[in-house]
Amino acid sequence: MLDMDADEIAKLVDGAYKNILEKFNPCARQLISAGKAYLKSLHGAVASSKTYLESISKLARHAHQATWGGSTDIDSSNFSCRRRISMKVTVNRFNQTENQ
């Protein structure tokens, strides 16, 4: 190898680089393609998870409003019943005192 001239060494080095690039390029392209596909699937997963989260939030909001509205309805009907009972008790006491 020592008796080779600079041109032969340059040809050997160029051949080695060319061989490396020919074998490396398809793998690099494949890696880049796989990376792009992975990134695309991640974007899809993010979009799906955002939609899922919005749906769950909307469902929770509706459930909370329905529960809150239901409890106020129960509260107002309780208050109404208590008022009627209180009025009946008052009327009964008044009638009892008049009858005595």
pLDDT tens, residue by residue, 3-60? 678 788 888 888 888 887 788 788 888 888 898 999 999 989 999 999 999 999 888 8
Whole-structure pTM value: 0.44
Give the Cα separation of 36 and 26 in Å (integer). 15
Tokens matching residue 82: 């208590």
Tokens 């494949």 belong to 30
CB neighbour list of residue 4: distance below 8 Å, 6 or more residues apart: 12
